[in-house]
Amino acid sequence: MANNHYVLPAGWRWAKLAELLVALETGSRPKGGARGINSGVPSLSAEHMTRFGTFDFSELRFVPQEFYEQMPRGHIKRNDILIVKDGATTGKTAFVDEAFPFSKAVINEHVFLCRPDFGKVHPLYLFYFLWSSVGLAQIRQSYQGAAIGGINQTFIEKVIIPLPPINEQQRIAERLNEQMETVRQARCATEKQLHSANGLPSAYLREVFGNSTKNKWGWQKLGDICELLPAKTIKTNGDTIVTAITTACLSENGFLSTGLKSAHMDADDAEQALVQKGEILIARSNTPELVGRVSIYLGEPPKVFASDLTIRIWANPSCHPPFLTAYLSYLYLNGYWKQHAGGASGTMKKITRSQVHEVMVPVPDINIQKKIMTEIQGQMDNIKQLYQSLETQLTEINRLPSTLLRRAYSG
């Protein structure tokens, strides 16, 4: 067994996961699943397990009390280790610690429950190994199947764990706990900063445009100063491959994202959907969070084509297109289209060309528009740099656990 692994410190040994457990169980749900059951005993699945080894109970599911009492297996206890057994997140692991809020809870049939043998292994020591990249890789060695494959109970015979004496396990587990708490605090602080940074564009645009009436800017209907190009339903069974701007490509801050899609279109359709440099696009149909997103196309990448789920706007010479884009982004970021879009609540929302036509927009002198937009662009660039810096910082923080665990389990 040891020949396949690195040399362990004196007093350590290699152990199969199977010999360190007193139970390996999976759960079940009532016929038809747990949807629509609004009370009872919490039933946990992969969606309730985070990538950080913790739980997210924001959208709980339940099994009836009577069903819970008849379940022979899958009852969760403190110090249990839960492992996703199939699907895209196979091997994802979570630990049931003292903060677990439920005295009664179960797993469903897509999760394994591993119950450690306290006489052989410290539960937290075992969890941290299984949660590590090394443990995950060993678990996934047993993956079988194609689209919806997974692991079966034999995986515990193939996962090999470096096992020190029990008192050393406890020391390592306690040290890792302290380190992971430091990482968690750093992650929370950075995520909080990212959340704040995400609100900066909205706050800055509100500062610029929220006082526009005091600046005595002229106001006109958008449709009176812009051409709203007709929507074109694109046939996608043609031979021409094009790069398409879909609603998902539109940025909440007015810049096209890099997530452009390729699609097959008929040549005639593609030419009619060709976007011109300086053209503004609004998502006319999407979820409540996305409808009304707006971006301006600045010519990169070259030759892209608009989805029929966007409204295309071509400004006349009295409008500086980036300035108009910034104002429309202000409307989106401050919830204008959430309030005015049609459609059932919580489903797809839609805005119409006539609604966009009637929107009142500020039209100061063109030179004032350009000056203001230069200031806006500078602020947005600063915000973008801040956000990218924080994202890099968060990435580095999220790499720390792997480094710490690798050191711990090599002795």
Residues 391 and 343 in one domain: no
Under the banding of pLDDT at 50, 70 and 90, the label for residue 305 is confident
State percent of the chain over pLDDT 70.
83
Cα gap 14→31, rounded to integer Å: 42
Same domain membership, residue 282 and residue 144: no
Instruction: Report which of residues 372 and 4 the model is more confident about.
Output: 372
Domain that holds residue 172: 165-196+371-411
Top pLDDT among 303 and 317 is at 317
Give φ, ψ of 225 to 5 degrees.
-120, 5
pLDDT of residue 257: 47
Residue predicted with more confidence, 228 or 290: 228
Amino acid letter for position 56: D
For residue 29, the tally of other CB atoms under 10 A from its CB is 22
Give the pLDDT confidence score for residue 3 in this predicted structure. 42
Residue ending a domain, choose from 164, 186, 220: 164
In 256-364, DSSP assigns E strands to 261-265, 280-283, 285-286, 294-296, 304-306, 310-315, 349-350, 360-362
pLDDT of residue 138: 94
Cα dihedral sign, 135-131-194-335: positive
Neighbours of 248 (CB within 10 A): 15
State whether 177 and 152 are in the same domain: no
Q: How many folded domains does the chain comprise? A: 3
Say if residue 364 is preceded by a cis peptide, omega within 30 of 0: no
Cis peptide before 30 (omega within 30 of 0): no
Output the average pLDDT for the chain.
85
**405: buried, middle or exposed (CB in 10 Å: 19+, 13-18, 0-12)?**
buried
Segment 372-389 shows an average pLDDT of 88
Report whether 231 contacts 367 (CB < 8 A). Answer: no
* 338 plus 382 within the same structural domain: no
Q: In this model, does residue 34 exceed pLDDT 70?
A: no
* 252 pLDDT more than 60: no
> How many angstroms separate the CA atoms of 227 and 279, rounded?
10
Backbone CA torsion sign across 244, 245, 248, 251: positive
Whether residues 225 and 140 share a domain: the answer is: no
Asked whether the beta carbons of 250 and 294 are under 8 A apart, the reply is yes
Same domain? 257 vs 328: yes
pLDDT tens across 184-199, in order?
A: 999 999 999 988 988 8
Task: For residue 41, name the pLDDT band (cuts at 50, 70, 90).
Answer: very high
Lookup result for tokens 């500062």: 207
Say what the pLDDT of residue 249 is: 57
Query: How does DSSP assign 211-226, residue by residue?
Result: TTTTTT--EEEHHHHE
Residues 235 and 302 in one domain: yes
Residues 401 and 360 in one domain: no
CATH of the domain at 286: 3.90.220.20
Same domain, 294 and 353: yes
- pLDDT, tens only, 347-370: 778 888 899 999 999 999 999 999
What local confidence, expressed as pLDDT, does residue 266 receive?
64
In this structure, are residues 311 and 282 in contact, taking their beta carbons and an 8 Å threshold?
A: yes
145 DSSP 8-state letter: -
236: helix, strand or coil: coil
Query: Percent of the chain beyond pLDDT 90?
Result: 50
Check pLDDT > 60 for residue 170. Answer: yes
Which amino acid, one-letter code, is at 311?
Answer: I
Q: Is the pLDDT of residue 11 over 60?
A: yes
Residues 6 or more apart whose Cβ sits within 8 Å of residue 270: 234, 238, 240, 242, 305
Residues 169 and 242 in one domain: no
Whether 256 shows a pLDDT value over 50: the answer reads no
- Whether residues 62 and 177 share a domain: the answer is no
How far, in Å, CA of 389 to CA of 166, rounded? 42
**pLDDT at 292 (0 to 100):** 85
Measured in whole angstroms, how far is the alpha carbon of residue 239 from the centre of its chain? 34
The pLDDT tens digits of the residues spanning 198-250 come to 888 888 888 888 865 556 788 899 999 999 986 555 555 566 555 556 555 56
- pLDDT attached to residue 232: 59
- What's the N-to-C CA distance of the chain in angstroms? 17
Q: If DSSP codes are grouped into helix, strand and coil, which group holds residue 25?
A: strand
More confident residue, 253 or 207: 207
Residue type, 21: L
Answer with the residue of higher pLDDT: 108 or 208.
108
CA–CA separation, 324 vs 361, rounded Å? 8
Sheet with 41-44: list strands edge to edge. 62-63, 41-44, 106-107
Residue after which a domain boundary falls, among 328, 347, 364: 364
Mean pLDDT of 391-406: 85
96 and 223 part of one domain: no
